[in-house]
């Protein structure tokens, strides 16, 4: 877990007070203590960019008017940390996305170019070709992002399988290629869902493109 994510979890366990909870001097005093603890934790954990806010050190000085602006700034700061670390902090999101390194992005992009070529040459209806290409393009968009949605690969595979179901046997080589991607993605997804924070993809060499002979054989 990242330093920021650890910091966020610690702060959330330190009696966070939100703007919407400010009702009177008691909540204002709690908010002042919360801001002070959040600032001290940021200093201890070397979390940069904590907002420069001034909070009362005496309870009698803790009013809603006095504490609202500092609390608003700290809320914004914590929201930005959450947004940057959402794939770590939100387990539901974490299970739906995986992180690809440059080697994987390059390998999958090459594979998708190969799949597009197979689809282009296949004797299929243009409507079906357009639908398949749309799913492949959606997968490429996900691959180019920092976090890749696993279901995008599954969606593309389903489109190709539907094509075979409609008699487009020439798409079989493309299905075999995408099955490798989906299998690798799902393996990491399962590791993350089982609590494996260090889940990682194998070498992208498992996606090696088939030779011309293999492609021809797969199409029969």
- Note whether 107 and 152 are same-domain residues: yes
Q: Which tens digit of pLDDT belongs to each residue from 178-198?
A: 998 888 888 877 777 676 555
- Note whether 15 and 72 are same-domain residues: yes
Domain containing residue 51? 3-89
- Note whether 102 and 209 are same-domain residues: yes
- Note whether 128 and 206 are same-domain residues: yes
Domain finish residue from 45, 60, 89: 89
Instruction: Give me the DSSP letters along 123-155.
Output: ---HHHHHHHHHHHHHHHHHHTSSEEEHHHHHH
Retrieve residue 138's tokens.
């959606």
- Note whether 145 and 83 are same-domain residues: no
- Note whether 102 and 210 are same-domain residues: yes
- Note whether 83 and 9 are same-domain residues: yes
- Note whether 18 and 106 are same-domain residues: no
- Three-class secondary structure of residue 14 per DSSP: coil
Instruction: Give me the DSSP letters along 101-120.
Output: -HHHHHHHHHHHHHHHHHHH
Strands (E), the chain: 97-99, 147-149
**Contact by Cβ (8 Å): 143, 110:** no
Domain finish residue from 89, 119, 143: 89
- Note whether 106 and 194 are same-domain residues: yes
> Which of the two residues, 187 and 30, has the higher pLDDT score?
30
- Three-class secondary structure of residue 5 per DSSP: helix
Domain finish residue from 89, 121, 144: 89
Q: What is the pLDDT of residue 98?
A: 82
Q: What is the pLDDT of residue 1?
A: 64
Counting the structural domains of the chain, the total is 2
- Three-class secondary structure of residue 97 per DSSP: strand
Q: Which tens digit of pLDDT belongs to each residue from 35-88?
A: 999 999 999 999 999 999 999 889 999 999 999 999 999 999 999 999 988 877
């Amino acid at each position: 877990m990242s330093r920021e994510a650890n910091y966020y979890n610690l702060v959330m366990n330190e009696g966070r007070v939100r703007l919407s909870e400010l009702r009177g001097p008691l909540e204002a005093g709690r908010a002042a203590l919360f801001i002070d603890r959040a600032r001290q934790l940021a200093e201890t954990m070397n979390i940069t960019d904590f907002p420069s806010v001034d909070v009362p050190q005496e309870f009698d000085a803790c009013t809603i008017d006095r504490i609202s602006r500092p609390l608003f700034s700290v809320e914004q700061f914590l929201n930005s940390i959450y947004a940057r670390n959402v794939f770590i902090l939100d387990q539901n999101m974490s299970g739906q996305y995986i992180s690809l390194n440059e080697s994987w992005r390059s390998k999958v992009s090459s594979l998708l170019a190969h799949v597009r070529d197979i689809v282009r040459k296949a004797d299929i209806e243009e409507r079906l070709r357009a639908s398949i290409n749309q799913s492949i393009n959606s997968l490429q968009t996900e691959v180019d992002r920092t976090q890749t949605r696993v279901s995008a690969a599954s969606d593309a595979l389903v489109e190709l399988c539907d094509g075979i179901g409609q008699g487009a046997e020439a798409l079989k080589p493309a299905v075999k290629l995408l099955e490798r991607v989906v299998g690798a993605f799902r393996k990491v997804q399962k590791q993350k869902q089982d609590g494996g924070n260090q889940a990682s993809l194998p070498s992208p060499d498992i996606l090696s493109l088939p030779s011309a002979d293999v492609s021809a054989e797969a199409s029969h």
